[in-house]
Structure 1
């Protein structure tokens, strides 16, 4: 049954283990219930800012293999220019217990291996030239995919219902550019408002929008292909078109290869 149960800590009363267990379990149960339908990925925070020699991972929360991990304080990570693409990975370590606490720890590492193992999650990536600094001030939606000296967050998974979705700030950038253009298609207006109003735009919404604009069957794409497709739609709308890439669009047709 539904209950609302909280221990009474009052002078003169005996402190029972059951009372402490109630305090321990309540916030964990609440969080588990709120996020039970969400996929693995970044739940909140975990933004990245860049210093002269360090990357700083902001306070945040991620879900991995059904478990919630919290970063309570900003975490520094030293980096250097190598000219090679490096992935900022959250690596989940084995569970350990000392009798008083059971801990599931993690570490943040830089790795030139672009794919993630089952115990890793990407937070971002970059390819830095010697003497340059990682840039996080994006000039446009297309700028998120700039190859060199720019923090790329396109591939980082964000927890969503039914599956991981894309970086919400990146989608808000797309929506802002779209709504400031000559967009008149109802799908553009609805999708733009969704990205701006909601904290997270679910992946299914993004894919349905792409299916309509591309004139193609509904299909899942990688984050990189989704970003490229949205760039093409934005270019078309800004040029005065409808942004539709299907049979009704004019000019040569291009096929997206996943």
Structure 2
């Protein structure tokens, strides 16, 4: 049966183990049930801000191996200019810390130059910083979000989604904003952009379907990097069409109408 149970702490009553168990288990059960069908990845928070010599990771919740891990206080990491690609990783401990009164599953945030994620790791972002340069995340455009050097990138980051991880909201919101500002009149573009701006991101399968429709191709499984490149192609096309006051830009689909310029 369904139940909503909570303890009553009143004067004169004996404090029972069952009452304390209820306080312990209720929020945990609620979160576990709510996110039961979600994939591994970032659920909320864990945003990164860039300082002159440090990265600050905000409070957040991530899911890994069916468990929810909470970062209760923001954390700072010191970074250096190495000229080599560096990944900001959450590294989960293989075994829990067991004490007489507590069992804790832990994870640390580290900087690692091994760009391949190993078992027990999730990515928060990556960068390649040249000597003497400053790390930045004030992007000039959607295309700029994948600039190789001196730029904090989120293309590879996995956000938790229902059954499958999805793209980072910071990427998808930038795409949706630029797509609408491009003046695209394609109904797929408008609907998709409105969905993203309202929700922050979309299920990975929804993004794949949108890309397939806009490119006139069959939907196929894609990695984050492939999806990002496809979105960039669609956005570049929409931006190029905005320069044509008659809206007669070419069609992205194979065999679609192409604009011909005659000098």
TM-score range, shorter chain: over 0.9
Q: TM-score, normalised by structure 1?
A: 0.94
Structure 2 CA distance for aligned equivalents of residues 3 and 246 of structure 1: 56
Query: In the alignment, which residue of structure 1 is the partner of 2:57?
Result: 57
Structure 2 CA distance for aligned equivalents of residues 133 and 98 of structure 1: 44
Structure 2 CA distance for aligned equivalents of residues 154 and 19 of structure 1: 46
When structure 1 is superposed on structure 2, of 151-160 and 111-120 the one drifting more is: 111-120
For these two proteins, the number of residue pairs brought into alignment is 251
Structure 2 CA distance for aligned equivalents of residues 125 and 182 of structure 1: 32
Change (3 A) 1:132 1:138: same
Matches within 5 A, 1:98-247: 98-240=99-241, 241=249, 244-247=252-255
Structure 1 CA distance for aligned equivalents of residues 251 and 119 of structure 2: 37
**Alpha-carbon contact 1:210-1:229 (below 8 Å) kept:** yes
Q: TM-score, normalised by structure 2?
A: 0.92
Structure 1 CA distance for aligned equivalents of residues 156 and 190 of structure 2: 25
Matches within 5 A, 1:4-19: 4-19=4-19
Structure 1: gaps (5+ residues): 252-258
Structure 2 CA distance for aligned equivalents of residues 33 and 231 of structure 1: 37
Query: In the alignment, which residue of structure 1 is the partner of 2:258?
Result: 250
Q: Secondary structure at the match of 1:239?
A: helix
Q: Secondary structure at the match of 1:37?
A: coil
Structure 2 CA distance for aligned equivalents of residues 246 and 134 of structure 1: 40
Residue 214 of structure 1: how far off its partner (Å): 1.5
Residue 57 of structure 1: how far off its partner (Å): 1.0
Structure 2 CA distance for aligned equivalents of residues 87 and 249 of structure 1: 42
Change (3 A) 1:247 1:65: farther
Instruction: State the structure with more CA Rg.
Output: 2
Runs of 4+ in 1 over 4 A off after TM superposition: none
Residue 181 of structure 1: how far off its partner (Å): 1.3
**Alpha-carbon contact 2:173-2:201 (below 8 Å) kept:** no
2:28 matched to 1:28?
A: yes
Structure 1 CA distance for aligned equivalents of residues 212 and 163 of structure 2: 18
Structure 2: gaps (5+ residues): 242-248
**Alpha-carbon contact 2:172-2:200 (below 8 Å) kept:** no
Q: Secondary structure at the match of 1:209?
A: helix
Query: In the alignment, which residue of structure 1 is the partner of 2:246?
Result: none
